[in-house]
Chain A
């Protein structure tokens, strides 16, 4: 279609909507935001007549690449270290995608702007596309990669693994609670606008470096729809800013959404990129460097900051704080170490780090070896069954962490842990902002103002609580992370598939009792608890090199 006929088509399509007089659409999803005074802002326009053929064309390229990868024996060159983390990543990501589709009616119901409704409806179908195209990629991996275990239980594992639960916030956060908080601020203004760059651009680059060029093909195709989604969100934001009353809520929601996305996405994607890669060229960017470019410069400085002039309060402090955690406090390294500590309850295998990795980390993050080197050496030493227990149950000077009640990533920057009695329960938080999210933001009142539509944090939020006091072998059995011989575990702390004796079985992990840090904390007397917290915050938790 020519540009002129396209703009005529857009104009024609505006004739489709009308003001109802007999009945108005059901009000399903509440919001405390107000749009009755907002001037209507239009997003990028899309006519379905050109949309469908355009997307079909993109699909054809993706499926062509898939055929080519199989014919060209791509899997002879993929790194297992990388592919194993895809078992986790691709278990999580189709859910946020489909949740984005489900979030669209929440935004449609909240914002009275038919032009925007059209854009949001097209986004809905894009997101169905993303979810199913990613499931299909995972299916292809399951069929062609050497070790299908973990891919074969994917959506079940996503639903019962602690790591899946962490990832599920990036999804449940889109579809529940205040409609605008969820479907606009959390989903579009932060998750899509800021973090899809690391997800769909930085990650694919790393995949390619590890021999997998299908992930880039699929995810670049996904990312090419994203600018329209970002434009939808931006239009809603400008409309919201038109009403002074919304600004306090926007400030609250940006703080929550920014911080939660940082906690969750940087934990996961940071780990995949830094610990899932075999590419140790010194001039390949570290996750921190990528973050600085994609998130700090492109999102924070180029997108968020200019919005200040419209009256948006930007969480400058939290952007700096996130960067501080990534750059100075080893956030990603501590998360990766935690994932590896918990390997028996994962559904993927985690490769140990080698001298070449050590060198790369040290060059990218000076001081890395002193803090994490000895622990990874212990991880390697303890990687085979027989002579020892899983590393979490051996004394390597690493104390299993408390979990953050809000973001569910553990409190790994130990000195920052916040402990508070909330709703009658002692809870731990990784940070002040996560504590604030639970105690202040997700409540029916905010700074003296009623917020009846705001959501709640629900569920059994500490994963360990579910299995407190149980034997590790029973837990792994209950989770279903056992291979088809009925005894070998899906997860392994190494990649050695050549020798069955190196593979851990249920018998190798039996006799280890799992303890919930939160249950224990709540059983302590006041003095015990205070001493425990002081010790937790003060402990270096660094494995001594003599272990």
Chain B
């Protein structure tokens, strides 16, 4: 047996020589010499986007081109991406396109921009000794409540979105879920590292207070319970629906946009809104793709009605839980020194937004009863 260990030591290294091959597009004309587009799928518009080209059909489907079917199965014999992993049905799941057109380049550009922006803000705050200007009351608010929110993002990111990106029937949906999960994990870390940053600058700041707040402060137990219950949902579409269309507008935006973003500046805090604002920006993006997905299944010619009926049941379950979590946050509105906002006003705005969302998806009547 000869192996390379037996080879004599080379005296001179040799290199492959470049050769002129003229294998460039257009060098010759022959059948298909001009066929320069992926032609196995139909782009949504006239011209395929980069996003579609690098995403479509990468996860095969026996209902499209997969000739021999899935060649590995689970113990029950199901392979690949079974359609019954959600109760919803679609005439064609492949019609879904992510309006954010997320692929490799957009993912890294966006998230890198966000972290750069946050770092810049934090370094400015450090230079200006901004945290030192906070009142003790506001400091407590940030360490406990802004801190507690990091857990909600982490839980949803890891155990809802990262988890269910294995489950949807197309690559387009699963990638959107993966990107959504990435946003949440990044935002959770943004909040944790922000917390660390303050801890390092401000001796009176208790960097571990967020843990107790999340684990046992009665104010946060409704949110924690809802998040934990969201992670327990089996059906990937229900999990997406409940997290992005119910929990986020009723609880996430209530806390982030209608509380923290409104009162931070009035309490002399200009850095927290920069960090929290990034999470709101993520959610805008995540909401865009989520609406596109559910718009598609609720308007499905054959299954739309049945899908809306299923979603109505989901609303029955998740709206009360989220509203309860929201209401239990109420004491936070009186914890800051500058309390210019009333909880009920914030909640009304959150509910308005939610009802408009549901209206837009044709679920207005199912959402109406939420005020009772």
Contact = CB atoms under 8 A, between A and B. Distances in A.
Contacts of B50: 136, 139
Given A48-B115, A94-B58, A458-B73, A124 B162 contact: yes
A101 B178 contact: yes
The bracket for how many chain B residues form the interface is 35 or more
B290 interface: no
A513 interface: no
Contacts of B107: 125, 128-129
Contacts of A154: 38, 40
A292 B104 contact: no
Contacts of B166: 28-29, 102-106, 175
B36 interface: yes
A453 B157 CA distance: 26
A466 interface: yes
A517 interface: no
A49 B193 contact: yes
Contacts of A298: none
A16 B154 contact: yes
Given A95-B58, A132-B54, A169 B72 contact: yes
A103 B116 CA distance: 30
B23 A146 contact: yes
A211 B231 CA distance: 50
A63 B106 CA distance: 13
A280 B115 CA distance: 49
Contact of A47 (B65, B175, B193, B210): B193
A16 B188 contact: yes
B313 interface: no
Contacts of B31: 149, 483-485, 487-488, 500, 503
Given A48-B189, A455-B72, A456-B73, A83 B23 contact: yes
A52 interface: yes
Interface string B142-154: 0000000011001
B68 A165 contact: yes
B32 A283 contact: no
A46 B181 CA distance: 16
Contacts of B154: 16-17
Contacts of A157: 40
Contact of B25 (A49, A105, A146): A146
A177 B54 contact: no
Interface in B18-71: 18-28, 30-41, 50, 53-60, 64-71
B54 A139 contact: yes
A359 interface: no
Contacts of A13: 189, 192-193
Interface string B208-234: 101100110000000011001101111
Contacts of B186: 48-49, 52
A80 B104 contact: no
Interface residues of A, number: 124
B84 to A, nearest CB: 13
Contacts of A408: 71
Interface string A9-49: 10011011110111111101110000000000000000111
B115 A49 contact: yes
Contacts of A83: 23
A135 B158 contact: no
Given A121-B185, A160-B67, A488 B32 contact: yes
Contacts of A22: 224-225, 228-229
Contacts of B118: 49
A546 interface: no
Contacts of B151: 16, 18
Contact of A466 (B37, B65, B68): B68
Contacts of A103: 166
A143 B66 CA distance: 25
A331 to B, nearest CB: 15
A279 B33 CA distance: 26
A176 B35 contact: no
B362 interface: no
Contacts of B18: 77, 211
Most chain B CB atoms below 10 A, which of A17, A103, A284: A17
A146 B150 CA distance: 52
Given A52-B112, A177-B73, A455-B74, A105 B162 contact: yes
A466 B65 CA distance: 14
A56 B192 contact: no
A136 B26 CA distance: 20
A459 B228 contact: no
A190 B262 CA distance: 52
A490 B31 CA distance: 9
Contacts of A421: none
A42 to B, nearest CB: 16
Residue among B4, B27, B72, B104 having the largest count of chain A Cβ atoms under 10 Å: B72
Interface in B224-280: 224-225, 228-229, 231-234
A83 B59 CA distance: 24
A9 B193 contact: yes
A293 B4 CA distance: 8
- List the 10 closest A-B pairs by CB distance, nearest first: A156-B40, A483-B31, A159-B65, A135-B54, A483-B32, A149-B32, A155-B57, A209-B16, A160-B67, A458-B73
17 contacts: A16-B150, A23-B225, A23-B228, A26-B163, A56-B112, A75-B24, A77-B20, A124-B165, A124-B178, A135-B54, A148-B32, A148-B36, A160-B68, A168-B60, A459-B69, A459-B79, A498-B28
Interface of A: 8-9, 12-13, 15-18, 20-26, 28-30, 47-49, 52-53, 55-56, 59, 63, 73, 75-80, 83, 94-95, 98, 101-106, 108-109, 117-118, 121, 124-125, 128-129, 131-133, 135-136, 139, 142-149, 152-160, 165, 168-169, 172-173, 175-177, 208-211, 278-279, 281, 283-285, 289, 292-293, 327-328, 408, 444, 452-461, 463, 466, 480, 483-485, 487-488, 490, 497-498, 500, 503
